[in-house]
Amino acid sequence: MINVKINGRSVQVEEGTSILQAASKIGITIPTFCNEPRLKPDGACRICTVEVEGNIKLPTACTTPAGEGMSIWTESPSVVEARKEILNLLLSKHPMDCLTCAKSGFCALQDLCFKYEIKEPAYIAPTTRQPIDDSNPFYYSEAAKCISCGRCVRVCNELQSTNAISMIERGVSTKVSPPFGMSLAESECISCGNCVSVCPVGALMPKAKEKFRYWETKATRTTCSYCGVGCQLELLVKENKIVDIKPAHGESNEGLLCVKGKFAYNFVNHPDRLKKPLIRKNGKLEEATWEEAYEIILNKIREVKEQFGADAIAGFSSARVSNEENYLMSKFMRAVIGTNNVDHCARLCHASTVAGLAVTLGSGAMTNGIADVKHADAIFITGSNTTEAHPVMGAFVHQARKNGAKLIVADPREIPLAKEADVYLQIKPGSSVALSNAMIHVILQEGLEDEEYITNNTEGFEEVATVVKKYTPEYAAKICEVDPEDIRKAARLYASCNAASIIYSMGITQHVNGTENVMSLSNLALVTGNLGKSGAGVNPLRGQNNVQGACDMGALPVVFTGYQPVTNPDIVAKFEKAWGSKLSDKAGLTVTQAIPAAEHGEVKLLYIMGENPMISDPDTNHVRKALEKVFLVVQDIFLTETAELADVILPAAAFAEKDGTFVNTERRVQRIRKAVDAPGESKPDWMILTEIMNQLDYACSYNSPEEIFEEIRSVTPSYAGITYKRIDKEGISWPCPTEDHPGTPILHIGKPTRGTGLFKAVEWVESPELSNKEYPHILTTGRILYHFHTKTMTDKTDGINVVAPHNYIEIHPTLAKEKNIKDGDLVKATSPRGEIQVIARVTDIVDENVVFIPFHWGDGANVLTNGEVLDPYCKIPGFKVSGVKIEKLA
């Protein structure tokens, strides 16, 4: 430790601590413009100059280390004079329009001019006022107000790694701009808004729909409601409307946001929100009272139970709602209705992860933390378009690359990360098992396995070693349609480093052999000992804000909370005691079983909370037939494509209108908080479920989501140590068995959770979709950066619809030429399930026989996908491989 004095006050700090940090430690604020805690200080703005006794010059506090015995003055006459000079130079070319500037009252330049009593600039620079660049649909750039602090450039380049802007020109003409005179719309900008968030003045500003001053707003910290990263943010509210969003620093996002988290919040305030219950009368939906809606639902539930039994009712819970609400849906279906027919959309995305990793490792969840990837020596990304589907995670991958990590990408599309990979394998859809087995083959052949880890921590190795013998790189290359040497390179890169991380998503899981895909990746981690340590692990990226939490809460037909089996008599007895009701010990129907059961008349009533199967589920025409046959209750925030078919619709509150918790993809339980009131008569989902349960003669009384969470803790060992108080400022990753337990950021330390890691020998099997020669092309589906899931929320933001206005199909130039298709042409895509019309996007990022369609739009990709052939372990459909034929429409 070293001793320094600042403004006469003594402080002890560690060696290497900057003067700025030392001052902050004792509550002394030194002004800054360019300083950003996440970046290495560079002293560009020089406004943080201080006086150090004995020094002739005034050093910058952010870049100067505190030294033993230093005596520092932060507001001496010479310091104040220097700061005034800097401010005057900045003002010399700065517009003096504070009265109308949207940043007024929240502007660092304005604050310092007020502090140092600068009322007008001492100089006037001979500059021409730059035009405003408002080409980006989410924010605008007013170069005349830029103070050249460089924050935006460094965040874009060093944290986000987009490199869309830079400092150009010199002296008084210095400005921030995209390269070569391009506009923001023409640049590489992905509209993440992180530059806007760090701008200290009004040079970069969001295109707000509502006029406001920042001092008029109230900030509420919460968790983002989009992907599974679980970014922390602040909702800025004026007059019960969200008017802006600021990123907050959380362990999973470190102050970064993506375009959706930063700008796509208009759905909360949108006029199309459901505000009153709707009931179907004479074939039309009409507004009703809550009492009328409840009466219809309650009567129908009683009628179906009496005539057909409890198993004729099914419920779909939701990755969109809170843990507390998922828990109540599970409890409602099991303790009140009397069936285990409860599931949610994890069945369509990561059911194979839960099934596969639970078997091989003992826990079906991400092993390491999100930001932990920055500590990896090598990263193997397969089946994950990380920078688009999980943009902040993608930013951390970029940061890992800057730290020296090697990157391997295996994906049927040349996704953005593929362009910077050390090895890119453009594998054929459905060939992942063959690739994993071939990589293990190379690892064993070249002696790159971790023998000590295999011996001490695993079982089943010999069977895998036997199976992979035939998967030579040459053999697998024919299946995957890649160069065998690239397989060798990938295996060596992955196995030759200290810590290698596997990152995957639905390109692995959404297959009829999805569980075996997951198991093959687990084998890869086990054979190299890449578990239980920082920078390593098997890391599935969950697609929605609370899909992990919905699984944790037992919104699955085979488990209660914390993955406690419904078929275990002791567990059933435990929940019967806790819930005071007789429970079924028979596994319930999955989403992919309940839909056919509804079509066949076995399910008579379907209660859907926050899900939109008319877009998200495979074979849309089949789904429609099923939903039209059942009595359908939908609880949602908008009149979705599914809600349009409902008999009763209940208006629910959005994430910003209620309290509760979400769990992100790294198992981190985090708070959501009410910031605005719900519109009209809509209610939080937990309140709706509680009212229905009570009216079905099941007495339950909850005054708040926290009370529900306390009940969850009491029956869920992995959550027992988590309380609202403990996660008030920062979330905790389960398992957390006691209140003095810190949580578990990294699983399987020392040994896998199940005791020993289980190798599972798996063979590659070609998808049955590829056997029909009438449909010769392979359709694969996925997400894009600007829309989310079934776009119920994102399409309520104008900017989103500017950059992503319609559906499209990616077609390779060779196939396009063969079919006489040009970019922008209307194309018909047909499968055995149906046909759609879609606009062509001719591109070589897909292979010659592969086409890609995003799944966000109605009458889109899922009209063509197969919902009948399912993974035998977890019943997930094969969204990623569908046989189709393509033809140009006149």
Return the biggest CA–CA distance within the chain.
Answer: 92
Across the beta sheet with 378-382, the strand order is 423-425, 406-410, 378-382, 500-504, 538-540
Q: Are 254 and 182 in contact (CB under 8 A)?
A: no
Alpha-carbon torsion, ordered 504, 516, 782, 540, to 10 deg? -30
Q: SS3 string of 664-732?
A: CCCCEEEEECCCCCCCCCCECHHHHHHHHHHHCCCCCCCCCHHHHHHHHHHHCHHHCCCCCCCCCCCCE
Asked whether the whole model's pTM tops 0.85, one would answer: yes
Mean pLDDT along residues 459-473: 98
List alpha helices for 580-684, DSSP H: 591-599, 613-616, 620-629
How far is the C-alpha of 855 from the C-alpha of 841, rounded, in Å? 15
Confidence at 473, pLDDT banded by 50, 70, 90: very high
Mean pLDDT along residues 54-66: 95
Helix (H) or strand (E) holding 306: helix 290-308
Confidence at 849, pLDDT banded by 50, 70, 90: very high
Confidence at 404, pLDDT banded by 50, 70, 90: very high
pLDDT digits (tens, 9 = 90+) for 343-400: 999 999 999 999 999 999 999 999 999 999 999 999 999 999 999 999 999 999 999 9
Residue 166 CB burial class (10 angstroms; 0-12, 13-18, ≥19): middle
Half-sphere CA count of 610, side-chain side, radius 13 A: 29
Weakest-pLDDT range from 166-180, 289-303, 436-450, 484-498 = 166-180
Q: Is it the case that residue 125 has pLDDT exceeding 90?
A: no
In degrees and rounded to multiples of 5, residue 267 shows phi and psi of -60, -30
Exposure string (b/e) for 175-200, b if CB count within 10 Å is 16 or more?
Answer: bbbbeeebebeebebbbbbbbbbbbb
Question: Which token pair is 48?
Answer: 């943080």
Sign of CA pseudo-dihedral 845, 850, 856, 858: positive
Confidence at 173, pLDDT banded by 50, 70, 90: confident
Residue 482 CB burial class (10 angstroms; 0-12, 13-18, ≥19): buried
Q: Are 189 and 140 in contact (CB under 8 A)?
A: no
Using alpha carbons, select from 48, 11, 14, 13 the residue that is nearest to residue 26: 11
- pLDDT for the residue 170: 81
Mean pLDDT along residues 560-564: 98
Half-sphere CA count of 675, side-chain side, radius 13 A: 27
Q: What percent of the chain has pLDDT over 90?
A: 96
- pLDDT for the residue 175: 85
Q: Is it the case that residue 773 has pLDDT exceeding 90?
A: no
How far is the C-alpha of 355 from the C-alpha of 491, rounded, in Å? 25
CA angle 856, 860, 862 (to 5 degrees): 85
List alpha helices for 309-381, DSSP H: 323-331, 351-360
Mean pLDDT along residues 91-109: 92
- Residues present in the chain in total: 890
CA 427 to chain centre: 25
Which residues have C-beta within 8 Å of that of residue 269, sequence separation ≥ 6? 209, 241, 242, 676
Helix (H) or strand (E) holding 279: strand 278-281
Helix then strand then coil, % of the chain, to nearest 5: 35, 20, 45
Q: Are 286 and 279 in contact (CB under 8 A)?
A: yes
Mean pLDDT along residues 745-773: 94
How far is the C-alpha of 496 from the C-alpha of 29, rounded, in Å? 47
Using alpha carbons, select from 62, 116, 125 the residue that is nearest to residue 85: 116
In degrees and rounded to multiples of 5, residue 320 shows phi and psi of -90, -25
- pLDDT for the residue 738: 98
Using alpha carbons, select from 228, 500, 226, 257 the residue that is nearest to residue 370: 228
Half-sphere CA count of 167, side-chain side, radius 13 A: 16
CA 33 to chain centre: 31
In degrees and rounded to multiples of 5, residue 691 shows phi and psi of -65, -40
Q: Which fold has domain 367-391+409-538?
A: Dimethylsulfoxide Reductase; domain 2 (3.40.228)
- pLDDT for the residue 128: 67
The answer to whether domain 2-75 has CATH 3.40.309.10 is no
Question: Which contacts (CB < 8 Å, 24+ apart) does range 578-582 have?
Answer: 578/711, 578/714, 578/715, 579/331, 579/334, 579/335, 580/335, 581/334, 581/335, 581/336, 581/338, 581/698, 582/338
Domain boundaries, the chain: 2-75, 278-349+546-732, 367-391+409-538, 768-888
Q: Are 876 and 426 in contact (CB under 8 A)?
A: no
Using alpha carbons, select from 640, 709, 714 the residue that is nearest to residue 669: 709
- Cα dist. 328→237, 498, 863 in Å? 29, 44, 32
Using alpha carbons, select from 423, 399, 398, 397 the residue that is nearest to residue 410: 423
Helix (H) or strand (E) holding 139: strand 139-141
Q: Are 799 and 263 in contact (CB under 8 A)?
A: yes
Which residues have C-beta within 8 Å of that of residue 610, sequence separation ≥ 6? 317, 318, 319, 320, 321, 635, 636, 637, 652, 685
Q: Are 94 and 146 in contact (CB under 8 A)?
A: no
How far is the C-alpha of 254 from the C-alpha of 372, rounded, in Å? 12
Using alpha carbons, select from 780, 50, 838 the residue that is nearest to residue 413: 780
Asked if the domains 278-349+546-732 and 367-391+409-538 are classified in one and the same CATH topology, the answer is no
Question: Which token pair is 624?
Answer: 């429609």
Q: Pairing mode, if any, of strands 660-663 and 668-672?
A: antiparallel
DSSP code per residue over 807-848: -EEEE-HHHHHHTT--TT-EEEEEETTEEEEEEEEE-TTS-T
CA angle 466, 469, 470 (to 5 degrees): 120
Mean pLDDT along residues 69-80: 96
The overall average pLDDT reported for the chain is: 96
Question: Which token pair is 722?
Answer: 């988590």
Question: Which token pair is 235?
Answer: 């909702």
Q: Which fold has domain 278-349+546-732?
A: Rossmann fold (3.40.50)
- Omega prior to 745 cis, within 30 of 0: no
CA angle 316, 320, 321 (to 5 degrees): 80
The dotted CATH code for 768-888 is 2.40.40.20
Residue 769 CB burial class (10 angstroms; 0-12, 13-18, ≥19): buried
How far is the C-alpha of 328 from the C-alpha of 322, rounded, in Å? 10
Mean pLDDT along residues 713-719: 98
Mean pLDDT along residues 412-430: 97
User: How many other C-beta atoms can be found within 10 angstroms of the C-beta atom of residue 699?
Assistant: 7
Amino acid at 400: A
Mean pLDDT along residues 41-53: 95
Helix (H) or strand (E) holding 382: strand 378-382
Mean pLDDT along residues 853-874: 95
